[in-house]
Structure 1
Amino acid sequence: MKISFYPSLLLPWLLPSLVLPCLLTSPQPVVAQTRPHQPPQSVYVNVPHMPELPTGGGLAALTAAVQRQVKYPVAAQRQGVQGTVTIAFTVLADGSLTDVYAQGLDYGCPEAATAALRGLPRLKPGRRQGQAVPVRMSLPVQFVLAGLPAEGRAEARATPSPAARQQQPVEPGDTSRVWPTADQMPRLPDGSGSYAVGALLQRTLVPAPDVQAGHIEGRVFVRFTVGTSGVVRDAVVVKPLSAGADAAALQTVARLPRFLPATHNGQPVAISLTVPLTFYGPNHTYNRAPGSQPVPPMPDVDAYLQQQVRVPAVVAAQQLSGLVGVGAVVMPDGQLDSLKVVRPLCAACDAELLRLVRGLPRYQPGRDEAGRAVAVRTYLEVRMPPNPPDSISRVYTYVEQMPQLPNAASISATIQELLGEPGGQAAPGQRRVFVSFTVGPHGGVYAVKLQKGVGGATDAAVLAAVQRLPRFVPGKQNGRPVAVSFTVPVVVK
């Protein structure tokens, strides 16, 4: 299985009880990208030959090597802290490490686990079809005090923020023990899972003055505890951005509603969570809208353009054949701006597509998590010469060559990555949402519909994730690109 990512859409996956919807990276300022359309970067999570030590031995040897390298922090030993730190990281095609993130415990344990991993020699990269490819992995690192069992010792807790403590008091009887994981993780009052927490935080994000002034953009990571009463407490910034953004992030977390608490063996327990809160400036242009994508004035805008195109005479004269692509920005008022030919064919072909795109009616603008209209990049293309009309207007359910995501990534797994949910089969406590959509002859997704849902914010989140799917490699029938409809299941908590 392979996952496709976009530079502005950090979709890290969910570590149990830990990070909510994203593959974590250092919170550097977000820089607006200038290229209207780029192919996604591909990172695998499972390949025939997984990364390993230069001496081999597979995952077991790699885990053991990290464990041998780890140095137990003195502060953690003095506090009696023990348990598991989970490290998530990407092994690039050259064997180097990137996007390293350690989560769990405190008092220097995550840093010690990271240092142990980085202290290893350069790894042998993962390989697929004979080629070295990037692979996302995770490893457990154990911290166990000599002579004491791991079970029953208190996990370390984040130092409470005074502001957070004042706004979110701990209720009487709430436990002080913080568990690393639980059978059932905390849920919002409507029963929504972990991915909905991140979406709620972004919708209710308190503005930061320095961000609103356009001075900085980026992410703040906040760790907090959901106690046995469901009340949020002990919020602290673990990866800062600026004083204003950090304070705004803590205020936003402090406003979270009472959760349905986590349970373990049927009993409520306190759980520590870490969430990213992303701050965008007023003039930010998104590659993919964090809320809802722009809606074109017709269901399949590529097919509409294809039907309207006037093929220049030079195409037949020089026997030209291929795609012409234009990148654009859908502005908050729905108008298209910043048009640029990014896939040229001939001067007359390029000019014809620009003419058609400039004549399009307004889009419904893309929106952020709070429902505000935002600027979003889009991509439009036509084929010169066009395919026969049947391949544009007819929608198939099965064709000789079915549509595929870039690099043949799994559709259901990619949707779940966009949700921040791990893929796989439905387990106890999990449900399935069935959603249908059509992939047009140019690979665009449209006609997204809910076929069978579970209700509430979960259904809306799944539909929004499908709308954020990247452009497909279109399906083909008799050698021609055609429209194909899908119905896929998505496992949600």
Structure 2
Amino acid sequence: MYRFCWLLLAAICGTTVASAQTTSPSATTTPVYTYVEQMPVFPGGQEALLRTLGETIYYPTEALQQHLEGRIFVQFVVGVTGNVQDVHVSNTTIPVLDAAAVEAVQKLPAFSPGRQLGKPVPVAYTVPITFRIPSNVKEILAARAAPNTSVTPASSPLLFPGGPEALRTYLSNHPWPADYSSTLPSGTPALPQIVFVSFVVDTLGQVTQAMAVQPAEPVERRRSHQNPKVPAAPAALLLAAASHINAMPTWIPARKNGQKIPFPLTLPVYFGPTDSVATPLAYVDEMPVFKGDAIEGHYMAQRLRYPATALRSQTQGTVLTYFEVSEAGTIENIQTIKSASPDLDTEARRVVQMLPGYIPGRHNGKPARVFYVVPATFSIK
């Protein structure tokens, strides 16, 4: 299936004003505002809204064959939860294009809702979508007409065979290595433990460079004046976790601009009994959408501050912080999984705590919990 970005898109909505204006609802319906003090905001802003629509909309084959063009005004309401509601066309002209435009808008993720007097309220919104026949329409129609043509997307995420649930199962309930159990005192049960492993999935889908996460080597710690507070797991578990990751089946490689690319990951291996159903997923059908004004990495980098104590002691290093995005989009279970020093660890954690939250991820049509591992590198130049 081909999707195209030849659409001319421009959102039409009121600018922020001091007093609200509403439509004329009946006595039994909730008023829908046209202007409010704080207008709805799409995740990533107006540019992201236009880009998302351009990537989502599908130019119907029938319209291409008949050289149908037109500008469709799609109206909808951003509800009090931010969800898109009541999507319809205001100027019905060409039914097949109307339907394509409405379908694209219905797929939009939730906005940050509009607010009036500090409370979320429903706000009317309109976007015009212009369909224009592309210059290579003959090639597009020929490709669609070929029933056995396999179309490879220009960009696609890294995928584990069987999906995220299969990946979670693979990582969960890993047996204790024999040489670890033998080191425990007689009668002492082995408590569940988690060991994180960083690795790269290459362009063939193979796992490479697998290394269990642990503090830097003593020589590096001395050179960088590190004083890590998160100890390494027992050596037997570090080795077993890395071996388990190395034994993974072949992944479906990530793609960017049509080219397969290597992709770095850090994943947990769970030793001992694990409630795999309650364990968060590494990825989902619809990943959480960050609510900040930049992508997560840039947002964090802009706010990261080098602690004065670490500067005085010339402490450097990379801190890895784990957190989960809940089914409600909140940030939970923040943990330092690779420590450099107490002050650097604290600063990395502070920046994660500052994240404004996410629009929740969804899997199989339902909100889903997803985990992230983010690095914060402190370097004195």
On whether the aligned pair clears a TM of 0.5, the verdict is: no
State the TM-score bracket (shorter-chain normalisation): 0.3 to 0.5
Please, what TM-score do these two structures have when normalized by structure 2?
Answer: 0.33
